[in-house]
Amino acid sequence: MKTKDKVKLFLEMYPSLKDNDNRLCSNIWATEIGEVEGMNKESKVADFLVAYAEGKLTSAPSIKRARAKLQEEEPKYRGEKYNLRKGILQDKWRKHLGYEENN
């Protein structure tokens, strides 16, 4: 399954993950750990780090980029932080920086 599809699935199943990349990554990795041969959820931290370093788990930056792209393309995947950042705060800073048209 592609990273974008994994992210979409988790955002649909757990809307609270829309605003927390760390929790989103953790949930995806918890699922992937069960798919890595020789690993289970009770594996040691060192096993996790080895699997991550070897590319057996989706990288955090890839998950974050996929989440950002999904939220940009499809509003239903946007959380409260996205709406605040892109709506109210963006408008406030645009006005503060003088980007508003003077009519």
Q: What is the pLDDT of residues 4-32, one digit of tens each?
A: 999 999 999 999 999 999 999 999 998 88
For residue 35, the 8-state DSSP code is: T
How far lies 26's CA from each of 45, 65, 91, in Å? 13, 15, 33
Other CB atoms within 10 Å distance of the CB of residue 69: 14
For residue 73, the 8-state DSSP code is: H
Confidence check: pLDDT of 53 > 50: yes
How far lies 93's CA from each of 7, 72, 79, 90, in Å? 30, 19, 20, 5
Domain residue limits, the chain: 3-78
Taking the complete model, does pTM exceed 0.75, yes or no?
no
Q: Please provide the average confidence, as pLDDT, over all residues in the chain.
A: 85
Q: How confident is the model at residue 88 (pLDDT cuts 50, 70, 90)?
A: low
CB 40 within 8 A of CB 33: yes
Confidence check: pLDDT of 103 > 50: no
Confidence check: pLDDT of 94 > 60: yes
